[in-house]
Each structure stands twice: as structure tokens, then as C-alpha cells.
Structure 1
Amino acid sequence: MIERLDVETFFRARERLISASRIGIVCARSTVSLGQFLQFYLHLLGKDVVLFTGDPRMIDLLQRFGPGDVMVGIGFSRYAHWTVEHLRYAKKRGTWIMAITDYPSSPLAPLADESFFTPTGIPSHMDSFVAPLSFLTGLLRAVSNRLSKQTAEILHEMEDLWEQFGIYEPPSSV
């Protein structure tokens, strides 16, 4: 994956995420775990993020997306119709589209302004999400590093909040 990654494209995508008014993440079935990971950390970095995972009640939020927003589609072989249709609709509304998928032949790729191809195939009945998760981690780190002052401020505030509500258990002294 790293050999195929175009650095300029990667940094353009980072800047789009940073400048976006709103970010949508479209994923379905097994890719929901990747979408939740991306949503959790983008939200932690102060971004307005909507996660579309196949729940029909969420479809109403799709009409809020347009120019100035970003829609990230995550899909791999045996591509979910839900994901493709969301990207198609968002594209018609002028939303900037990023696809995280496996091959240039993916139906997500022609809908995207930028595509990132991450291998998932292993000789098994399930995909390996090691490469896509590594890509997302790198992208989130790039966003965080670019917004280092804002990130530090948000994280300090969040630490205070987590402490006040006892979110985390301290490690045992055993």
C-alpha cells in the first residue's frame, strides 16, 4: 500500500478534511468498524462528522451535504450498494468525495475526487483491514499534526472532561 500511495494526493485529502464544513463517512457491513474508527478520531479533533452505516433513518441527513463538505466512502470487494448510492447522491450535490477501496475497478473509484487503494485480500473468507486501518491512522495523524495547537487544546479539554466523569479506570497497581 505504501508503495502505491501518492503523497501529494494524500496531503490534498488531508487539507480537504481540515477545511470541510461537514464530513460524512459512508460504510456498510464489515467496513463499519473502519468508519467508526475514522468518525471517533475526526470528532475528537473537533470535526462535524456524520456516520452513514446502512440505517435508513440516517438517509435524511444526506441532503445536508454539498459543496464545502467531504464524503468518505469506504468499501471493498463485494461493494455495498448502500455505499455506492450515497457517494453517487453526494457527488450530484457537489460534495467532494474520497474513496478508500481496494482496486481502481471498484465502483467507488469513478465517483471519487481522490481514491486510495488499500489491499484487503488474504486467502480467507474474510478481508484483512490491516492496510486500510493503517492508512486511516496515518491520515488522522496527518490531520492532527497539521492542527497541532488546536488538537492539543481539544485533548486537554477532553482529558478534563473524562476525568470529571470518571470515563477511564486507572491501571491497577498489581
Structure 2
Amino acid sequence: MPTSQLPQPPTIAARIARAKPGLTPSHQQIADYVLKHPLQAATMPIDELAAAVGVSVATANRFARAIGLNGYPMLRAELVKGFEAMLAPVEKMRVRLAQPGSVLDAFVAALEESQRNIAATRTALQAASCEAAVQAVVQARRIYLLGFGSSGWLAGLLQRGLEVHCENVHLMSSVGGASQGARQLPRMGESDLLIAIAFPRYLSDTVLLTQAAHERGVRVLALTDGPHSPLVPFAHHCLYAHTESYHAANSETTVLALIEALCSAVALHSGSSVQGAARVTEAILPWLHGNDRAGLRPRPSPVTTE
């Protein structure tokens, strides 16, 4: 029998419903908490859950047995199922906190982690993928940048880097949210490029808008973590970044490094990169500290008080 057709074990909710008539009041308190906060319960050691509900550790263990499990560890393991990707940063943080060290150790560990991620990303780069990504950017009539959550900030930095060398760069992830991004879909066409950024934990808005753009015939460049990413089926080109982190879902350092590398490569292959950089420098010159001495920007008037 195929694995997909094998009978599936009952969920925690189903176990609780089946055992409900025989649950004690204390067990029912635990059941209510677990059903209301399944993600929190999945991350709690038994003593934390017992304290949160206001029961003893022994009662928490007996509750697990009352719903047909061997004990609390099995209860927690069942709760984790389906939450693996979301809980991974929490579990990594738990492991990290179990290894005490100084503040300097924390700095060093984070920097070394970034170095490892960047080195792994560099090793995995393929010449053909890099060339295709740059050509897609350079040849696009308009470029749309898509990312939400932390990827929204990264999309903004990508816009900052590309708009020096590309005429039409538009950020889809604005204050209007996903619906504002969707409003831009009708103007997008085959001569445009969508650069979509998403890493675990992937946000559905990014995936859905990328799929919608793909279905309109828009070329898609995905900045993501690997071939398993939900963006890949809709992408014509992909650049992958290793983003392992001990304290967060991802390390944005590597993604930013990849973004800077992409912008640098576009600058080198753009016919007007020097002129574009010169125009930007000229535009911001009056706002650079020290240029007021050269008369490029009026010095602020001194503050007076009555």
C-alpha cells in the first residue's frame, strides 16, 4: 500500500475529543491550553507547561497517558508534527541557550556563522545561473521586487542597489501589503522581470504573487534557499543563499551579501553604470557631512531662545 494511503495516527485534537468523557478537571485544563496554544505547547518542557496551566508535572504526564500516549515527550513530539519549519528557530535557540558563554562569545559565534553561510553560498554558485540572472536584470523593461516580512527589508535594499543602474525598479512590498502588490500585476508583462525573495519560513503572499506573475508570462528570478523552495516551480532563474542561523529563522547576512553581489555584477555589465553612479553621487552630495563648508548646502541657523 502506498505511504499516502496508510492510516494516519489520530491528531492531538482527535485524541482529546475521544478521551474527553474520562478527563479529570485538571486534565481538561491541560487539554484546553494545548488546543488553544498548540505551537506554544509544542515548545514547552513539561515543567513549563505544568506551570502555565497551574497543575503538577505528574498531572501533565498523566494527561498524556489519558489521551493514549506513552508520556509527555510523546505528546510534545506529536504536537511538533506539522510545525517543524516554524519551530526550528525556537529549538535551535533552546540548544544555544543550553551552551552558556560570554557576550563576546555570542558576537564571535554570530560572525563565524555568517562566514560559514557566505562561504557555502559562494561554493554553490554556478556560472550559468549568475550569468542568466544578470542578463535577466539588464534586459528587463521593468523590474518588480517582491518580498514580505524580513524579505521586504531585503527587497528595499535590492531596490536601492539596482535603481542606480536600472531605470524602472518597483517595490511591490509597500505599506499597502500584499493587495497593493497585486494591484501592480495587471501592468506586468513578458518583457518585465519579477525578483522574488523568500526564505524559511516562507510567506504565502510571496508565493501566491510570484505564481500570479508567472502565469502572466512575467520572467521570474528567485532569491531563495534551495531547489525545495516553493518559489522554484515559478522561477525561470534562481540564486540560492545558505541562511543557517542559531537564533533566528534565517541569517539575513548571506542574503544581503548575495544581493550586493548581484548589484555589483549588474553594475559591471550595465552600459551606463559609471554615469549612473556619478548622477547618484551628485544628487546626494549636498547631504554629505562636511560639504556645507564648500557652500553646497546652507548651514542650519543657530537655535535661539527667548
**TM-score normalized with structure 2 length:** 0.52
- Which of 133, 138, 141 matches 1:13? 133
Distance 1:105 1:58, change over 3 A: closer
Please tell me whether residue 158 in structure 1 is matched to residue 280 in structure 2. yes
Equivalent position of 2:167 in the other structure? 47
Structure 1 moving runs of 4+ over 3 Å? none
Equivalent position of 2:260 in the other structure? 137
1:56-81 CA-to-partner distances (Å, cap 9, x unmatched) read 33421121111011101100011111
- What runs of 5+ residues in structure 1 fail to find an aligned partner? none
**TM-score normalized with structure 1 length:** 0.89
Aligned partners of 1:76, 1:12: CA distance in 2, in Å?
21
Aligned partners of 2:203, 2:193: CA distance in 1, in Å?
19
Equivalent position of 2:156 in the other structure? 36
1:130-149 CA-to-partner distances (Å, cap 9, x unmatched) read 221111111111110112x5
Distance 1:2 1:153, change over 3 A: same
Equivalent position of 1:26 in the other structure? 146
Aligned partners of 2:278, 2:217: CA distance in 1, in Å?
36
Distance 1:121 1:162, change over 3 A: same
Equivalent position of 1:117 in the other structure? 240
Question: Which structure shows the higher helix fraction?
Answer: 2
The offset of 1:106, in angstroms, is: 1.1
Aligned partners of 1:89, 1:55: CA distance in 2, in Å?
12
C-alpha contact 2:134 2:266 (8 A) present in aligned 1: yes
The offset of 1:41, in angstroms, is: 1.4
Aligned partners of 1:72, 1:158: CA distance in 2, in Å?
23
Matches of residues 71-90 of structure 1 in structure 2 within 5 Å?
Answer: 71-90=194-213
The offset of 1:118, in angstroms, is: 0.7
C-alpha contact 2:161 2:260 (8 A) present in aligned 1: no
SS of the equivalent of 2:145 reads strand
Q: Aligned pairs, how many?
A: 168
- What runs of 5+ residues in structure 2 fail to find an aligned partner? 1-120, 292-306
* The 10-residue stretch of structure 1 (45-54 or 30-39) with the greater mean CA deviation from structure 2: 45-54
The offset of 1:55, in angstroms, is: 4.8
SS of the equivalent of 1:24 reads strand
Equivalent position of 2:7 in the other structure? none
- Which of 58, 62, 68 matches 2:185? 62
Aligned partners of 2:149, 2:139: CA distance in 1, in Å?
29
The offset of 1:156, in angstroms, is: 1.9
Root mean square deviation, CA, Å: 1.6
Aligned partners of 1:8, 1:87: CA distance in 2, in Å?
23
Aligned partners of 1:46, 1:78: CA distance in 2, in Å?
30
The offset of 1:96, in angstroms, is: 0.7
Larger Rg: 2
C-alpha contact 2:133 2:237 (8 A) present in aligned 1: yes
The offset of 1:47, in angstroms, is: 2.8
Equivalent position of 2:290 in the other structure? 170
